[in-house]
Amino acid sequence: MTRYVENTFSENYLETISVDFRIKCFEGLHSTKRLCLQIWNNRSDERYRYFPVDYHKNSDVLFIFFDITNRESFDQLNSSLQQIHHTQEHYQEIYIVGNKIDLESKRMVGREEAKEFAQENGSIYIEISAKDGTNIKETFDEIAKSFFLRKINDEIPLTPIKGPPPLVVSENPRNTCITQ
């Protein structure tokens, strides 16, 4: 998420404990429209096989990431997908994303195996590297723009946003305060 939104990567990045949230906007996709993505990063807890679905109940597109160098992270995808399908009416699109392709020599999950798994589960498979940026910007920009254009052309029904209240930014003489 940080690589996509801010185009940065840190070897010392602290793993998401619960939920992280960012916004990325696009201008000029359509003469009167602006696309803003709400990007939620929530951690699946392997110990309890829990995938927290409350944070993305009304999402149109869902990306589920796994580490291609960690077999266990791939094996957990089935459990995560079951929980998602059990608690969610539908997603317009679900992507299975294999990360860390910069570590090809340490690969534990084959590209074809992951692609087949995604197809069997009605998903699309893509591979990226958050570390070196391979396939990040191009892939996610194209997915977002394509989805947006299909929505404004009425190929996909509009989904009302049902999430937390928007953040309100108010300034005071000393600093900027963000409140809900």
Dig out the tokens for 160 from the structure. 């009302």
Dig out the tokens for 5 from the structure. 């939104």
Tell me the mean pLDDT in the region 8-21.
58
Q: Whose structure tokens read 């893509």?
A: 126
pLDDT of amino acid 180: 45
pLDDT grade for 20, boundaries at 50, 70 and 90 = low
The CATH code belonging to domain 2-179 is 3.40.50.300
Higher-scoring residue by pLDDT: 66, 37: 66
* 95-152 pLDDT per residue, tens: 899 999 999 999 999 999 999 999 999 889 999 998 898 888 888 888 878 877 777 7
**CA-to-CA distance for 42 and 119, rounded, in angstroms?**
24
Dig out the tokens for 112 from the structure. 């074809």
Statement: the pTM of the whole predicted model exceeds 0.85: no
Q: Residue 101: helix, strand or coil by DSSP? A: helix
Contacts of 165 by beta carbon, 8 Å cutoff, 6+ apart: 180
Tell me the mean pLDDT in the region 3-21.
58
